[in-house]
Amino acid sequence: MKHEPFIIRRVYNAPVKKVWKAITNIDQMKQWYMQKLEDFKPEPGFTTAFTVNNSGKDFEHLWKVVEVIPEKRISYEWKYSGYPGNSLVSFELEPDGNRTTLTLTHSGLETFQPGLYPELAKENFAQGWTSLIGEQLKGFVEK
């Protein structure tokens, strides 16, 4: 059985430097992305944990930064305390003059065993990322 990652690509009317800051600066990330995030550094090996409540359940997010190429790509492991699985989220930026193409890839979602944990199904991540990348980040960097 082949497991395809979730991929979303969007073009923003904002320079790459501004989009990079929005996805790596803790103060900006809290405004459009994860309000509960307490600490974040775009440095390989950096780890952080924070809890998000979804439908009455707490999910402790565990992130570990694995790759950083400034203004090009950042990747981090994304898993949940007390749940199986480990996924990888990568944000890739391509400058195009004063515009930026962002490609987000979230792979390994099947390791969350969505058959046992339906709230961790790929469709839920797709919905979340479409809102975050397609609407919230776009509005944030283009304002």
The mean pLDDT value for 125-138 works out to: 97
pLDDT of residue 1: 59
- Of the chain, the end-to-end C-alpha distance in Å amounts to 43
The tens digit of pLDDT for each residue in 43-88 reads 999 999 999 988 889 999 999 999 999 999 999 999 999 999 999 9
CATH of the domain at 133: 3.30.530.20
The number of domains in the chain is: 1
The pTM assigned to this predicted structure is 0.95
Domain containing 19 equals 6-142
Give domain status of residue 1, yes or no: no
